[in-house]
Structure 1
């Protein structure tokens, strides 16, 4: 099991706070406030992902709802839930659940950069001939990403800076994504 390096966590939190403090554009916030009084929940955007894969003796279901709050026209912050279930009949099963925190930075309208911290609990059971192996562990991912944004949809890729091929839930550090918020 991998140990969490608290110095890295402190550095990450410092970077996120710095992004928020530097990027906060008071002029933009005042313009919005002067045009129409908006409440917190009116600005929150919801999105996420859902996956379903069915086959002969194989089932995979994944759901990852999330919400973000735009601090200004450049920066949004939010969080999400992660859940998945995978089963290969009489051979393998896995359940994963967890949370994520996300920061999105849009330097220009069509480009979106992201920083995501993901903490998931992994429970797996593998059955081989007459031997059953179970593993339960926590897995932390720290992702940096970039994508092309068109309206509410972003298509891109993210890279896990904490990827360890022996302990990771995923097979590769680089993962494509489609992100949407409404």
Structure 2
């Protein structure tokens, strides 16, 4: 298991319980994989959904912590990329039926794609969607793009135009209320 350096963080669980982490030894994340059991990941995702089974790997003290709360606890701890991939996977998994999900993620031999392959596919789809939104933002905002999609760099105190498609897409969605 991994004990994280995340002291001083709080999270409010679905039942209203607020857990504050003041001692890094309170957080334990056993080494685990969802490769063989995406349904288990779905059951751990959100403690307010019908899928919730309270069968978790993440414990703070003696409380199970749904994966949806990871951003509040684990951001910038090394587990963040795994959480991001889980977000895309669960959103896709819950969009339709189980049969629809597995039809969309069939391997070339007709079986189910692996967890890793599904995550790679979703990552590429997300990357393509970000690129499309960034292109749309450039086209839609035209001459105003540089002033709208920029930020102030605190180190140099200069205005910097966004270049990463993911950053542009995030700002575009924010501006459009998406």
The bucket for the TM-score relative to the shorter chain is under 0.3
Calculate the TM-score normalised by the size of structure 1. 0.22
**Larger strand proportion of the pair:** 1
Q: What TM-score, normalized to structure 2?
A: 0.22
Greater helix proportion:
2
